[in-house]
Structure 1
């Protein structure tokens, strides 16, 4: 236990797999444990490098392990996969993570604070409501089109035409369809109210955050894009320059070059799709 320099931990819901090596890379620890025993186990260890895949809950474990004096590092799963030997199982995954975290050129995922995750949670809930509004709008248009009523594009037409159609006895709607459209309009109003509340919450968060206030001084950054950028970027010191941030967002050209032939295509579209859409 005293000679452990690097640990790879395969995160899970209940059973965690741990693989540890010494400073020379020799395996000195292979262990499975339950979630409830993980922190107690690492609390009794000397500080070491702990690698893990970036996944659901990884930021929580990284923060907790850092409090214990360890050096947690998160990696994209696709960068860990080449180090998996033979068949895939928890034991081999933990060994691959332990090997990958020692690579000098490995790209690590910045650890998020709890405040950044709060902002991200609001964005995720808002994004879900926006998708629900779009789906509801498309369904309402399709149902009305089946009886010969074409609703123009834009949510503003739904806000005005749906209540008019429900209240007009000469609109051609059957009683059953009239009831359905009335219910859909009620749901549409409720969704828009929820989106408005999320927008207010993000506006409040952007005013409370110094990083968001600084971003909003730049052209094109509003409360949505500023808060999403701060929540997604993690620790900005992870990136050496702005070009690395652009590459992380997938805004640089895709390259397929060989020798003297330089081929640059469209943007790579890697990274955070939601943030890239806002920008």
Structure 2
């Protein structure tokens, strides 16, 4: 165990596969460990030994436990590990995955995922629940609309219009709704109200986070970044100084163009869509509202967005503004300065 310098771990619910190598990269051991035997095995490793694992469920938990033991725990994105599996796509198993993780962790220019704190993951639980409740509420509303349409009852698409009309529909004896159908729709109405209450609770927790976190308050000042987006970006990123600059942060969010360049000829496509899909979606959705109302404002960003919309369309303008907001977020968070829509950046010499 004293010769081990790097360990790759393939995580699972019950069995964890480890692959350990020495300083020259020669394999020392490759074995499967049960969940309760993993930490005692890691306790025998030399202090400061690198233990790498894929970014997956429980990865941040294990990384925090390993760092508390004095080990150098690292997390690697899954798509960066796949090229180092020598057996290719047809040779995927736990042992080969652990060896690929160990090999990828030894590359000098490998990018690692920052380890989230307990507070960050706790707040992200609220965001994940909110997204789930939102999807369930949309499904519930569509289910009610579908059931009502079977009896010839059709209403405007806005949820508020259906909410106002539904009680009268259930009480109206002149329509074709049967007794069983009315009871079923009352159940669906109660579920809708319950989901609204869950959503309100999540919004209260997010509002409380904005009041207590100065970084979240700074992020909310940007045009196109609302309370949910400000809270989510702070909880997901944590330390913004882990990125060298704003463009790198935008690339981490998947907001930069995909390249297929060769022979000195640049060929750019759509955005890469890498990174956190939730953050990217929030930034783009917030940017859409700014794009549609940009003609009402006179600041430089609004004029730029309006011109971009007129030239390339509102969709490209929204994505471009989301990328710009990502860069501004990095600058605001790393410098600690409030957002100024009329600020003119100066390129360093």
Partner of 1:236: 240
Partner of 1:209: 213
Does 2:62 align with 1:58? Answer: no
Does 2:281 align with 1:277? Answer: yes
Partner of 2:41: 41
Partner of 1:16: 16
Does 2:267 align with 1:266? Answer: no
Partner of 1:196: 200
Instruction: Tell me how far apart the structure 1 counterparts of residues 36 and 132 of structure 2 sit (CA, whole Å).
Output: 32
Partner of 1:25: 25
Contact 1:112 1:235 in 2 (8 A): no
Partner of 1:138: 142
Instruction: Tell me how far apart the structure 1 counterparts of residues 137 and 173 of structure 2 sit (CA, whole Å).
Output: 26
TM-superposed CA distance for 1:234, in Å, is 4.2
Instruction: Tell me how far apart the structure 1 counterparts of residues 10 and 269 of structure 2 sit (CA, whole Å).
Output: 36
TM-superposed CA distance for 1:212, in Å, is 1.4
Does 2:180 align with 1:179? Answer: no
Instruction: Tell me how far apart the structure 2 counterparts of residues 11 and 210 of structure 1 sit (CA, whole Å).
Output: 35
Other structure's SS at 1:225 match: helix
Superposed CA offset, 1:167-193 (max 9, x none): 111233222222222111111111111
Of residues 123, 127, 134, the one that matches 2:131 is 127
TM-superposed CA distance for 1:112, in Å, is 0.6
Instruction: Tell me how far apart the structure 2 counterparts of residues 89 and 181 of structure 1 sit (CA, whole Å).
Output: 48
Contact 1:111 1:235 in 2 (8 A): no
TM-score norm. by structure 1 comes to 0.95
Divergent runs of 4+, >6 A: none
Deviates more, 1:217-226 or 1:58-67: 217-226
Instruction: Tell me how far apart the structure 2 counterparts of residues 238 and 74 of structure 1 sit (CA, whole Å).
Output: 14
Contact 1:17 1:31 in 2 (8 A): yes
Deviates more, 1:267-276 or 1:114-123: 267-276
Superposed CA offset, 1:220-247 (max 9, x none): 3332111111222244232111111111
Gaps of 5+ in 1: none
Contact 1:129 1:195 in 2 (8 A): yes
Higher RCO, Cα 8 Å, sep 6+ = 1
Other structure's SS at 2:176 match: coil
TM-superposed CA distance for 1:117, in Å, is 0.5
Gaps of 5+ in 2: 284-349
TM-score norm. by structure 2 comes to 0.76
Partner of 2:331: none
Partner of 2:319: none
Superposed CA offset, 1:230-276 (max 9, x none): 22224423211111111111111122211132111222222222211
Instruction: Tell me how far apart the structure 2 counterparts of residues 265 and 10 of structure 1 sit (CA, whole Å).
Output: 34
Does 2:110 align with 1:106? Answer: yes
Other structure's SS at 1:202 match: helix
- The within-5 A match list for 1:216-231 is 216-231=220-235
Superposed CA offset, 1:146-175 (max 9, x none): 222111011111210111101111233222
Instruction: Tell me how far apart the structure 1 counterparts of residues 255 and 125 of structure 2 sit (CA, whole Å).
Output: 24
How large is the Cα RMSD of the aligned pairs? Answer: 1.5
Other structure's SS at 1:231 match: helix
User: How many pairs were matched up?
Assistant: 279
